[in-house]
Structure 1
């Protein structure tokens, strides 16, 4: 008896991993973690935005080979929850609106040719590349938007502080390139990628930076409380001195009255 397509579909395996060890460089891994982390924190209050990275996205039911694993991606309109892999047909056919690849010379062909062609076919609105070690991209950041089925480059702008950036309309954020301090007599270091919120004028922080800010605020609050306590102690000491002076004056007046001297009649 012929099996139904449903039973056949149930037997199809969609792997959560390709079985290969992680081969990312330190820079690739660090920026992948940074980007996913700060974007998750940024969209934390929006439960219908899913941010992830280095996760298999299956976009064709029944075909496990129809998959891609972007370094960083954002999908709007699906729940913000943990997944082992992402199957589009189980998520209302929603696919990423934003993709960022942490690129290098070894992944140049995929990131420059294969993936943008696939992302364009999938309707990914914005495709960004960042080259953390300046292997081949100059500038190290490149962004493009999907127009009539093909990607067109997004302009690189410069902030009033001289920081180059590309604005992502999809995220509502600027992707900035910050030049690290290289020191005297040392060749310039690769520029660091940072996300910036132009609405609030603030840089997005990762969990470590958030914790550092939280600790600094706690220390500042403790210092302010110590200063308030010290000021209160000074006020208490001054009040005690005033009370003691009043008591001495009252005692002296009482002694004078005992001697028959009325201080109110003293000329």
Structure 2
């Protein structure tokens, strides 16, 4: 009599949230990653179906935890905001991030960046931008069919998806929002926020002072009316 073979269940595939690599190799690269990611988050803050994130692992293939990419910044239209440990494309209705940014550091090699571009081309990215802050060089690719094709001239290029404009005539490069305002660094945004708070507080103080002056004037009027009545004069 044969003994039935018991098959062990397949182990659950784990998709790690981290690849163990640092977000940036130096503070210049870090500042650009944070600036682009942060300003895009601000730009799309009122749209619940645009997901913007920096330095998150993207798994494009279900069941394959080896094929993964960690763009410095990626934008996924049609996906809700909210916490994710990683971007698993099959859970995201099969939607690949449409726009991806990479900020170069001296440690990035040519073959590495070629592999990334080929992966972005394969998995459906529509716009791909690479910025070298040390050399102040911006390179871009846009999807044409099943290929990512190099954008021949990035000067004043406007992203079809993001509607932001890249001004490569300045040093360093300047990025402008659709309303014409430039992208600000996190430090600049913090200063603007502090200034806004100070302006609000000043407006509150002015309002309070005006109310105090009005109340004082009313009290003075009431005292004057009371004195007139004491003198038998009906105002």
Shorter-chain TM-score category?
0.7 to 0.9
SS at match of 1:118: helix
Partners of 1:38 and 1:224 in 2: how far apart? Answer: 27
C-alpha root-mean-square deviation of aligned residues, in Å?
3.4
Q: How many angstroms does 1:205 deviate by? A: 4.3
1:29-178 aligned at under 5 Å gives the runs 29-110=30-111, 112-134=113-135, 140-148=137-145, 149-153=147-151, 155-157=153-155, 165-177=156-168
Partner of 1:213: 192
Name the SS of the counterpart of 2:107 in structure 1: helix
Bigger radius of gyration among the two: 1
State the TM-score, normalized to the length of structure 1: 0.68
Contact 2:104 2:131 (8 Å CA) reproduced:
yes
Where does structure 1 lack aligned partners over 5 or more consecutive residues?
158-164, 180-189, 248-253, 255-267
Shift of 1:175: 2.9
Task: Report which stretch shifted further, 22-31 or 83-92.
Answer: 22-31
User: Does the C-alpha gap of structure 1 residues 243 and 96 become closer, same or farther in structure 2, counting only changes over 3 Å?
Assistant: closer
Higher helix content, 1 or 2: 1
SS at match of 2:52: strand
Structure 2 Cα separation of the partners of residues 241 and 11 of structure 1? 80
Judge conservation of contact 1:99–1:128 (CA < 8 Å) in 2.
Answer: yes
SS in structure 2 of the partner of residue 128 of structure 1: strand
Shift of 1:69: 1.0
1:191 to 162, 167, 172: 172
Q: Given the two structures, how large is their TM-score scaled by the length of structure 2?
A: 0.77
Q: Equivalent residue of 2:194, what SS?
A: helix
**142-151 vs 16-25, which moves further:** 16-25
1:36, 1:84 → 2: CA distance? 17
- The number of residue pairs the alignment matches comes to 228
Higher relative contact order, structure no. (Cα contacts within 8 Å, ≥ 6 residues apart): 2
Take 1:2 and 1:79, find their aligned partners in 2: how far apart are those partners? Answer: 43
